Amino acid sequence: MRELSTLKDEVAAWQSVAKRIADTLELTALGDDSLGAELAAEVEAVEAEVNRLEFETLLSGEYDRHDAVFSINAGAGGTDSQDFAAMLLRMYLRWAEDRNYKTDIVDTAEGEEAGIKSVTVAVGGKYAYGYLKSEKGVHRLVRLSPFDSAHRRHTSFVGVEVYPDVEEAGEVEINASDLKIETYRASSAGGQNVQKNETAIRITHLPTGIVVTCQNERSQTQNRANAMKVLRAKLLDMQREEREKEMAALKGEHKKAEWGSQIRSYVLHPYQMVKDHRTDHETGNTAAVLDGRLNEFMEAYLRATVGRETA
């Protein structure tokens, strides 16, 4: 029923555009010069809507319409890396806000001096996973470090993982006997507002070794539900990667999905530039990108990979 509703909405959107085009052509045929400005504005609006709908046809992967779960993990670079992780979190939250997506921070591990060590966020909205899957990989920051007393240039790295959020239990089978569930007291930065009750949840999936923690909710029940959501998403992504490896082996290709080479660089010194190394798309407006203007990078990646993905 959900798929049927989604398809009906898509058909209705194209029918609406077709009607607007027909109405505009009728008004143009009247030859009324006083309608010139109004017609020009409508043509521009219709063109923008057609471009948007045309691009969404590229989001045809198996889970592209689903909600998403993404995690940010500080890597090499110490405090600078943890600060960079916080910068990326703000960037993605602003991007989601601009698209009217709902976000929920499921779990956070604060940095010792600044920033965050890791964070997991659930994102709800049409094509959330379809867009966010372009962000999976290693991100690199080059800047003059505010944490270096000599104010030297530092390079730091952050890893971003993105998973589709699946609601159907049948898509991922999880046996209760495969889970080790632990509870502990949630804590916040600086040790403040420590929960007296053990509301935080740590779930270990024994067959794969995947560990998921959730502590941001005051209810143990809610934390458990969020932890299971993240675990399902990670297990589904693992299954998908296994299928991709099998397909790559059949094609005689070898794809690496490991920490190492960055997908995007954010350079703040000695010049200003954000560059995606997969598509060569770049901009000098680093402030706008870090403020959430990511659509151009996402669309460039998705256009470059259309027809080459299996999910």
CA 5, 3, 94, 111: dihedral to nearest 10 degrees?
140
Rounded percentage of the chain residues whose pLDDT exceeds 90: 46
Q: For residue 45, give the nearest of 14, 9, 17, 15 by alpha carbon.
A: 17
Q: Kindly report whether the peptide bond that precedes residue 207 is cis, defined as omega within 30 degrees of 0.
A: no
Q: Which CATH class is domain 171-251?
A: alpha beta
pLDDT (tens digit, 9 = 90+) per residue, 243-295? 777 656 644 444 343 345 789 999 999 999 999 999 999 999 999 999 999 99
> What is the rounded CA–CA span in Å between residue 295 and residue 9?
22
Among 47-51, 154-158, 214-218, which range has the highest average pLDDT?
154-158
Give the span between the Cα atoms of 170 and 172, in whole angstroms: 5
Left (φ > 0), alpha (ψ -120 to 50) or beta: where does 282 sit? beta
User: How confident is the model at residue 219, as a pLDDT?
Assistant: 83
**pLDDT over threshold 60, residue 170:** no
Q: Which residue has the higher pLDDT, 116 or 59?
A: 116
CA distance 167 to 232: 9
Mean pLDDT of 103-121: 91
Q: What is the pLDDT of residues 58-108, one digit of tens each?
A: 888 888 888 999 999 998 888 999 999 999 999 999 999 999 999 999 889
In this prediction, residue 141 carries a pLDDT of 94
In this structure, are residues 133 and 123 in contact, taking their beta carbons and an 8 Å threshold?
no
Contacts of 279 (CB under 8 A, 6+ apart): 297, 300, 301, 304
Q: Which two tokens stand for residue 305?
A: 């990979």
Judge whether 79 and 148 are in contact, CB under 8 Å.
no
Between 143 and 250, residue with greater pLDDT:
143
Q: Which residues are registered as beta bridge partners of 181?
A: 203
Task: Name every residue whose Cβ is closer than 8 Å to that of residue 148 and which is 6 or more positions away in sequence.
Answer: 154
Least trusted range by pLDDT, from 64-68, 81-85, 128-132, 306-310? 306-310
pLDDT at residue 194 is higher than 50: no
- CATH numeric code, 67-167+254-305: 3.30.70.1660
The domains of the chain are located at 2-56, 67-167+254-305, 171-251
Question: Picking from 109-118, 189-198, 200-209, 234-243, which range would have the lowest pLDDT averaged per residue?
Answer: 189-198
Q: Is 202 a residue whose pLDDT tops 60? A: yes
Position 228 pLDDT exceeds 70: yes
